[in-house]
Structure 1
């Protein structure tokens, strides 16, 4: 193999490794108090987003909050410089996506969802 070809393969491999590292690194960044997505059961006749068929891959914070005995998702920590939010999925993204699906379900601080016959108020909270 020629030296130029070998150098090209090494350069491509380094670029691929660097891109993979940039994709994985932001999820490990975090500082300050964590944010949680909370799901509190409420009694209401107001419109709510039906989330019975939504997957944990699309809404990991919502599904963990609904499955939790405390009604609280896994923690999410922001980073100091705001880089992480550009590369990772956040609880804020989930509330925004649910609000776009059914704008009438929006509340002042979150969104109403219906899961297994119960309506929940879902909000992003800090402890």
Structure 2
């Protein structure tokens, strides 16, 4: 028995549950959920007389684990960097596309992303152009 191809996941299964095309973020990269869906689909439609080699399966799981760890490391690095900016003067892209300057007073985490509080506004880390270290005045 041969399998010619996989047609995709039907609505109401793991990938379609609770999401519409509009709520999914467009991306050209393979995320962890897409990777797991691909792996499950591969297992579901494999030929029972010629199953996937267990070494290949373990290699795919190791790749997934490495991807997960790298994603987590990047998230923590971004949070740490955002927290390190407290007290620093930052130059950032303002709402009109012009550079502006402000002091970071606090950091708020919104959906895992650090938002820098500049007193009268919040900006995303991606808006920062330049950072000046905090200046401590001695009395």
Q: How high is the TM-score relative to the length of structure 1?
A: 0.34
Greater RCO (Cα-Cα under 8 Å, separation 6 or more): 1
Question: Which structure's residues are more often helix, by fraction?
Answer: 1
